[in-house]
């Protein structure tokens, strides 16, 4: 049993807003849902599976009530911002089992309008969570969590702030072509390392933007996909896992991508060298570097050299990454970057990315996300997609 060729992404939509004080949270979910369904050329009555995550206000039941959807398959998996990436695989599995035919996945939120101090203010998600008493007193917000990983990586492998900065530089090269991006100005390595420290060794420009908005994708049965006018993007393989403190044996230099990558590549029957475009979660620059290593695009500890000198810039470097500008420059709606990662991969495979960043004849793409916090608990999902001939 495999999800290889079991389902296709037929619709994708990214909300153009990055600041939505005039919209409700649920309204953003509805607008991206309608946008993705329209992109697919389907109607709301075709939807028989619905997927949302921790960003959906009120959860599945409130969203289904608000959207007035009646479905036969639901999934509210929440492993952080990566959730939609694993939900595409869940949708493919559900479609393979006949539990639904057209699955809608939405992600949206408005942390910017709500002035949430994302990344620098610790949050308690559930007072009875077993970890709260062992973590909350120490004030470890998201930025500190990823900074701990960056520091350890620098210590073990000699990675430098300048190397991490190249990841932001590449994102800015892509974002200059994205009219919706929060940050469209080109930045240099010097700009990044001279920006204020947020949590050593991460600077302000090592961190993703805080933005409102969202996105949605529609996953459907292959025969439905072929009946539609849009280019067909097939699901080839996927992997999911989580990483945590492992009873006190945490290794801050490795993410759960070491488990999701091999599973996804094996199911897809491809290798990292085959990938033409990669959407890699970029909550922080270090996130991208760790994922590149853990997915096997380069050896452990070699990520700093791999990303340097514009290596992630489309048309210039060795691997085009986050050609929409990523979370670092374009969009990180609801503090969750999973949906935008899928959407840009779909654009690339359809040949609909901005011409300045489109990978020529892009037939195979990888999407990988790291949600949550590296130093405490994180979710991971890998998705490999191909353009159908």
Partner 1 sequence: MTNDRAIPPVRPDPESLPFWEAAREGRFLIRRCRACAQAHWFPRSLCPFCWTADTTWEQASGHGTVYSWTVLRAGAVPNIVAFVELDEGPRMLTDLVDVDPDAVAIGQLVEIVFCRTSDPDGPPVPMFRPR
Instruction: List residues near partner 1 by CB under 8 A.
Output: 117, 120-122, 127-128, 130-141, 143-144, 147-149, 151-152, 155, 196-202, 245-250, 252, 375-376
Q: Which is nearer to partner 1, 223 or 246 (CB)?
A: 246
Residue 315 gets the label, from left (phi > 0), alpha (psi -120 to 50) or beta, of: left
Q: Which is nearer to partner 1, 72 or 117 (CB)?
A: 117
Q: Which is nearer to partner 1, 202 or 225 (CB)?
A: 202
The whole-angstrom separation of Cα 389 and Cα 386 is 9
Least CB distance to partner 1 at residue 374 (A) = 11
Least CB distance to partner 1 at residue 182 (A) = 19
Q: Which is nearer to partner 1, 133 or 179 (CB)?
A: 133
- Select from 252, 270, 251, 282 the least CA-distant residue to 368: 282
The whole-angstrom separation of Cα 253 and Cα 149 is 6
- Select from 325, 268, 343 the least CA-distant residue to 35: 343
**Which residue has 């949906």 as its token pair?**
339
Q: Which is nearer to partner 1, 66 or 136 (CB)?
A: 136
The token duo for 234 is: 């097939």
Q: Which is nearer to partner 1, 151 or 180 (CB)?
A: 151
Least CB distance to partner 1 at residue 59 (A) = 25
Least CB distance to partner 1 at residue 304 (A) = 17
The whole-angstrom separation of Cα 196 and Cα 200 is 10
Least CB distance to partner 1 at residue 362 (A) = 37
Least CB distance to partner 1 at residue 92 (A) = 33
């Amino acid at each position: 049993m495999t999800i290889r060729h079991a389902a296709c992404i037929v619709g994708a939509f990214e909300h153009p807003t990055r600041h939505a004080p005039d919209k409700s949270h649920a309204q953003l979910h509805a607008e991206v849902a309608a946008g993705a369904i329209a992109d697919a050329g389907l109607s709301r009555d075709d939807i028989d599976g619905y997927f949302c995550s921790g960003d959906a206000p009120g959860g599945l039941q409130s969203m289904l009530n608000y959207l007035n959807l009646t479905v036969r398959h639901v999934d509210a998996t929440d492993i952080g911002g990566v959730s939609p990436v694993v939900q595409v695989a869940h949708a493919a599995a559900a479609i393979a089992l006949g539990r639904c035919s057209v699955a809608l996945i939405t992600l949206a939120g408005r942390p910017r309008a709500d002035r949430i101090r994302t990344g620098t203010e610790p949050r308690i998600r559930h007072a009875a969570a077993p970890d709260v008493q062992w973590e909350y007193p120490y004030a470890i917000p998201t930025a500190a969590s990823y900074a701990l990983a960056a520091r350890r990586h620098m210590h073990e492998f000699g990675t430098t702030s300048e190397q991490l900065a190249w990841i932001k530089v590449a994102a800015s090269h892509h974002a200059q072509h994205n009219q919706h991006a929060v940050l469209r100005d080109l930045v240099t390595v010097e700009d990044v390392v001279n920006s204020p420290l947020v949590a050593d060794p991460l600077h302000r420009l090592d961190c993703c933007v805080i933005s409102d908005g969202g996105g949605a994708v529609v996953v459907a049965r292959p025969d439905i996909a072929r009946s539609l006018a849009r280019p067909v993007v097939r699901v080839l393989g996927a992997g999911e896992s989580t990483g945590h403190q492992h009873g006190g044996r945490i290794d801050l230099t490795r993410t759960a991508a070491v488990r999701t990558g091999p599973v996804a590549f094996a199911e897809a029957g491809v290798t990292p060298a085959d990938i033409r475009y990669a959407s890699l979660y970029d909550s922080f620059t270090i996130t991208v570097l760790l994922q590149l290593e853990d997915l096997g695009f380069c050896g452990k500890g070699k990520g700093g050299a791999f990303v340097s000198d514009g290596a992630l810039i489309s048309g210039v470097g060795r691997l085009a990454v986050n050609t929409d500008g990523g979370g670092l420059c374009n969009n990180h709606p609801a503090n969750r970057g999973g949906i935008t990662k899928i959407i840009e991969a779909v654009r690339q495979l359809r040949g609909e990315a901005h011409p300045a960043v489109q990978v020529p004849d892009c037939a195979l793409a990888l999407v990988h996300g790291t949600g949550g916090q590296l130093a405490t608990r994180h979710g991971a999902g890998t998705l490999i997609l191909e353009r159908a001939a």
